A and B are shown apart, each in its own frame.
Chain A
Amino acid sequence: MSDFDWSVIARSWSFLAEGMALSALLVAVATAGGLVFGFGLALMRRSRYAVIAALATAYVTVMRTVPLILVLFWFYFLVPLVIGRPVGSLASALIAFVLFEAAFYCEIVRSAIASVRPGQTEAALATGLRPSQVMRHIVMPQGLRAMTPLLLNQIIIVFQDTSLVYVVALRDFMTTASVVASRDGRPTEMYTLVAVVYLAICFSLSKVVERYGKGQRQ
């Protein structure tokens, strides 16, 4: 045990913090962008025009069946080919995350909308509210409550997935830790740190989910 040197963490602190900042940025952008785009996809899937619904369904199916790492590669290598200039690792990773997570958020939003009784929509329409107003004032506020636990779960998954960005030469928290681990020859310390940090963040988030679930039932 005397062989451990935990001071490596303190020494590389600012480098690790940069990695954590990138992870946080990816989670924030993937969640915000993914939710907006996912909401649009959910509305498309509910469209009465079969073609629009089919397009959205196809998109969601493709994104949900391919691995994220493949989507990251696609955007890193394909987008520059298409637009004729490089887009950079960060931009391509952000785009990939948003487009990938949108498929999952779409399904979360869709199940939230479906969880609101159709009678609520009928009653709101009957007072003369327009469909967009019904969505905004009646369906979404109720759907949001139903989808909050699923949303937090998805955020945990996104956070774990951010470690994949090393494939496009970005340094998230996991990657910075692994750089330090090999540079200083301290893999045990660094990977223990990574495990503890992931555990702490994901565990506390899942506690929030649990709490929220209890609050709902009361």
Chain B
Amino acid sequence: MIVLENVQTSYGRTQVLRGCTATIKLGEVVVVCGPSGSGKSTLIKCINGLVPIDHGTITVDGVPVADKRTDLPKLRTRIGMVFQNFELYPHMTALQNVSLAQIHVLKRSRAEADARSEHLLTRVGLSSKLASRPEQLSGGQQQRVSIARALAMDPKAMLFDEPTSALDPEMVNEVLEVMQALALDGMTMMVVTHEMGFAKRVAERVLFMDGGEILEDVPKAQFFAAPSTERARQFLDKVLSH
């Protein structure tokens, strides 16, 4: 589904990814973790072309992301993305947030799009918030709207960039539950997160990154029981100690 080969990229002169290789199969849930600044967010932003890569190749569903001939907007409809800060459009209601790209990208009629949006917002437990503006919603509710917005494009895979990091602790679970339900439905997911509980429950594999490299790419049981690198051990000690 998603194949990364020797992916390298840099911001200015700072190299952020130093040759990352990984494969995410259809229906797989992979958690990406590692200390901040290790390149996790950059890695998943490369997958839908939000961050251009310098070297290597990324293919999504057989389509090369960095190829100039690739229709990037079209490719992006196949990969949903959820951001740390939700990034809902503040000038639109929850329903409009979810309908916008359906209307302008998938060319659905407004009625068709709104019906689909209502269905998705109901699925994430927000059927009573269709007409609410983002500012009237809690962080957890906003993040659930943004998951619905991504699902509205009927993506084949979902990327999550620290989806619970900006949330108050009591709202973390409502978002994780939605994500877990999505995983059970068979969605291919790549999740950057510090929620090791989620990784233990839902993930099949864990990618551990540090310094722009993927240091471990192992089944979750192996990662939590016996990480092979010293840096992963130190990281686990820190995040699991509390």
Contacts and interface: CB of A to CB of B under 8 A. Distances in A.
Given A129-B73, A133-B104, A119 B87 contact: yes
A127 B89 CA distance: 12
Given A127-B153, A128-B153, A137-B104, A142 B91 contact: yes
Given A141-B91, A142-B91, A126 B48 contact: yes
A151 interface: no
B168 to A, nearest CB: 19
Contact of B100 (A119, A125, A127, A145): A127
Nearest to B45: A122
Given A129-B101, A133-B104, A123 B81 contact: yes
B203 to A, nearest CB: 22
A129 B104 contact: yes
Nearest to A117: B87
A206 to B, nearest CB: 26
Given A128-B101, A129-B104, A119 B76 contact: no
A148 to B, nearest CB: 13
Nearest to A118: B87
B76 A126 contact: yes
A138 B104 CA distance: 12
Contacts of B164: none
B110 to A, nearest CB: 14
A48 to B, nearest CB: 11
Interface string A109-152: 00000000101101111111110010001100110010000000
Interface residues of B, number: 27
A97 B187 CA distance: 58
A119 B90 contact: no
Contacts of B81: 123, 126
Given A122-B83, A137-B104, A128 B77 contact: yes
A122 B84 CA distance: 12
A128 B73 contact: yes
Contact of B83 (A119, A128, A130, A133): A119
- The dominant DSSP class at the A interface is helix
Nearest to B76: A128
B87 A127 contact: no
B149 interface: yes
Nearest to B88: A123
A124 B237 CA distance: 37
A127 B50 contact: no
Given A126-B48, A127-B77, A127-B100, A142 B90 contact: yes
Contacts of A120: 87, 89
Given A119-B85, A122-B50, A133-B104, A127 B91 contact: no
Contacts of B90: 142
B105 interface: yes
A127 B83 contact: no
B74 interface: yes
26 contacts: A117-B87, A119-B85, A120-B87, A122-B83, A123-B88, A123-B89, A123-B146, A125-B73, A125-B76, A126-B48, A126-B76, A126-B81, A126-B150, A127-B105, A127-B149, A128-B73, A128-B74, A128-B76, A128-B77, A128-B105, A128-B153, A129-B105, A137-B89, A138-B89, A142-B89, A142-B90
Interface of A: 117, 119-120, 122-130, 133, 137-138, 141-142, 145
Given A119-B85, A130-B73, 14 more contacts: A122-B83, A124-B89, A125-B50, A126-B48, A126-B79, A127-B77, A127-B105, A127-B153, A128-B101, A128-B153, A129-B105, A141-B91, A142-B90, A145-B91
Q: Please name the 7 residue pairs, one residue from A and one from B, whose CB atoms are nearest each other, closest first.
A: A123-B87, A128-B77, A127-B101, A126-B81, A128-B105, A128-B76, A119-B87
